[in-house]
Structures are given as structure tokens and as C-alpha cells.
Amino acid sequence: MAAGQIIDEDSELALQHAVAARRLASRIAVVREAVGLAAYAAGDWTTAIAELRTYHRMTGNQSHLAELADCERALGRPERAIDLFRGADMAKLEKSGAIELLIVAAGARGDLGQHDAAVAMLQVKELTAEETADWAARLRYAYADALLAAGRREEAREWFSRAAAVDEEQLTDAAERILELDGVTIEGDDYEDDEDADGEARAEHEDSAEARAEDSGDVREFDQDAAGDEEFDTDEDDFEDAADDEDDDEDERSQAAGTDAVTADETEAGEPVSAASKTEDDKDDKGGDEFAGRADDRSQA
């Protein structure tokens, strides 16, 4: 199934694939097992419990008791995890499954504050066996962790060392725990921390710079809008001034038209209105006088 191929890389996507397969084949045990394991890897504890219990009922196989117990711990129910350990038939479980269930049950004791009881639970013969299997490193690591929680620091360091000695696949961080107990700080870790801090500082600086740029952009837009409003007001004032000038011109033209009308009325009333009219009248008077003088001369003759 696709879920099994990507479960270690993307547990959420693996769960989606498994759920899709369950819709098509919900009565197939291996499908329900895949859904349960994918849910466990994705931290969906409730779904994991339901699906793995269904798988156990369908097959009669109790191979995932450790995962079930761990889900109960994650849900804040350590007592149920201990009950699963007590009720398990260890003879029917594989060695790795039995050791994992023991480790989870001891962790549940620690959750309840029973650290000495957790140490006692882990003191089994497999703890000192010459084994190089994965479960050997995990068992020794769990025992060292329980000793440290119980305040037995020197013994804890010894067992972390034993765990690191058989942890060829580096399934645990036993080596780092030893350095931590010795008070040793790895410079590479500090360098990485400094890089992370520098990266966060740069990100904050860039964010603040972007924020300032956005604020400046808003101010520029506001100034442009204000300038546009001023230009619009100026255009309105110019338009009003032009309208006033046109009104003044119309008033002047109206006054001139009125003056011409008054002059025309005076002319019709017989009043002289120009020097040319007076000259013509004078000529007429002189002509009349000359005509009268010539008439008098003819009479005397």
C-alpha cells in the first residue's frame, strides 16, 4: 500500500491514503492495520486505538499492544497502558513486541510518579543479555532514563553508555544524553542555534522593512490624493473665475446695447446727435441767405 511506503516521510499523507483504502476495503484486516499504524504515526491516537483493536479482533493477533498502550499514555490514561501490559500473554508475543510493551508500561509508571517501580519493571534478564537487536538499545535506554528520573544519576550515565554501545542504527540519542550529563556542549549545536537566531533576526528585520515600505507607500498615495484634490479645487476656482469674466463681458455688452438704444431714441426725437448733422444744417442756412441776396439784387435792377 502507498501508506506503508510514505509513513516515515509524511504520516499525514499516509493516513489519508490508508483511510481512502478503508472506504474501499473495510473488511480486510491488513487495511485496518495500515490505518491504525498511519494514525499512530500521525498522532491521531483515538483513530489508532480503534483501528488496531479492530485488526486484533479480525485476526486474533495481539502484535500491536505496545502501540495501543502508548496511545493510552498519550491520551493521559497511563493506568490503561499498565492494564494492557498486565493482560498480555507474553508467550504469544514476539520478543521485540514484548520488550516494547514493557518499555511503555514502565513509562506509564513514570507518568504516575512511580519511578522506582519503573526501574524495577525494567530489570529483566534481557537487560543484560548480549544482544545487538534494536530492542536491546531501546531497553537499555529506557532503563537509563528511569534511573535518571529516580535520581540515580551515575547509574543512569552507565546505562546510557551501554545503550550507545549497541545502538548502531542510532535509534536513540544515548550519546547526546551522556554528553549532557557530563556538561559538554557541542559547538556545532551552538553554531546551528546562532544561525537559527540570525535567520530569525533577518526575517524580523525584513518584515519590519516591508512594513515601513508599505507605510511609506500609503503616505505617498495619501500625498498624491491630496495633491489631486488641490488640483481639482484649483481647476474649480479657475472655472468659476472664467464664468465670472464671461458674466462681466455680458454685462458690458448689455450696457453698450442699452446706450445705443438711448441714442437712437434721442435722434428720432429731433435732437442733433453729431457734428456732421450741424454742418449740413449750416450749409443749408448759408444757401438760403445767398439765394435771398441775389433776389434782392434783381429787384433793385
**Range 109-116, long-range pairs (CB < 8 A, 24+ positions):** 109/78, 109/82, 110/146, 110/149, 111/73, 111/78, 112/78, 112/79, 115/146, 115/149, 115/150, 115/151, 116/150
Query: Using one digit for the tens of pLDDT, what is the confidence trace for 174-192?
Result: 999 999 999 987 765 554 5
In angstroms, the CA 35 to CA 185 distance is 41
- Closest of 59, 152, 72, 61 to residue 104, by C-alpha: 72
Can you tell me the mean pLDDT for 221-240?
49
**pLDDT at residue 173 tops 90:** yes
Query: Using one digit for the tens of pLDDT, what is the confidence trace for 82-118?
Result: 999 999 999 899 999 999 999 999 999 999 999 999 9
**pLDDT at residue 264 tops 60:** no
Architecture of domain 2-189 in this structure: Alpha Horseshoe (1.25)
Domain boundaries, the chain: 2-189, 209-300
Give Cα 284 to chain centroid, integer Å: 110
- Closest of 33, 34, 35, 100 to residue 73, by C-alpha: 100
Per-residue three-class SS string for the chain: CHHHHHCCCCHHHHHHHHHHHHHHCCCCHHHHHHHHHHHHHHCCHHHHHHHHHHHHHHHCCCCCHHHHHHHHHHCCCHHHHHHHHHHCCHHHCCHHHHHHHHHHHHHHHHHCCCHHHHHHHCCCHHHHCCCCCHHHHHHHHHHHHHHHHCCCHHHHHHHHHHHHHHCCCCCCCHHHHHHHHHCCCCHHHHHHHHHHHHHHHHHHHHHHHHHHHHHHHHHHHHHHHHHHHHHHHHHHHHHHHHHHHHHHHHHHHHHHHHHHHHHHHHHHCCCCCCHHHHHHHHHHHHHHHHHHHHHHHHHHC
Rounded alpha-carbon distances, angstroms, from residue 294 to 280, 281, 284, 286: 22, 21, 16, 13
Q: What pLDDT, on the 0 to 100 scale, is given for residue 210? A: 60
Can you tell me the mean pLDDT for 289-296?
44
Q: What pLDDT, on the 0 to 100 scale, is given for residue 114? A: 97
Q: In the block, which residue shows the cell 426725437?
A: 269
Q: What pLDDT, on the 0 to 100 scale, is given for residue 189? A: 53
Mean pLDDT for the chain overall: 77
Q: What pLDDT, on the 0 to 100 scale, is given for residue 300? A: 41
Q: Residue 131: which pLDDT band, with cuts at 50, 70 and 90?
A: confident
Among 76-85, 125-134, 158-167, the range scoring the smallest mean pLDDT is: 125-134
220 burial level (CB within 10 Å; 0-12, 13-18, 19+) = exposed
Q: What pLDDT, on the 0 to 100 scale, is given for residue 277? A: 44
Nearest-5° Cα angle at 52, 49 to 55: 150
**pLDDT at residue 164 tops 70:** yes
Nearest-5° Cα angle at 185, 184 to 190: 175
| % residues pLDDT > 70 (the chain) | 59
Looking at per-residue confidence, does 169 or 238 come out higher? Answer: 169
**pLDDT at residue 144 tops 50:** yes
Among 85-89, 233-237, 241-245, the range scoring the smallest mean pLDDT is: 233-237
| % residues pLDDT > 90 (the chain) | 52
Q: Residue 200: which pLDDT band, with cuts at 50, 70 and 90?
A: low
Please provide residue 94's backbone torsions phi and psi, each rounded to the nearest 5 degrees.
-70, 155
**pLDDT at residue 298 tops 50:** no
Q: What pLDDT, on the 0 to 100 scale, is given for residue 132? A: 83
The identity of residue 126, as a single letter, is E
Can you tell me the mean pLDDT for 194-216?
60
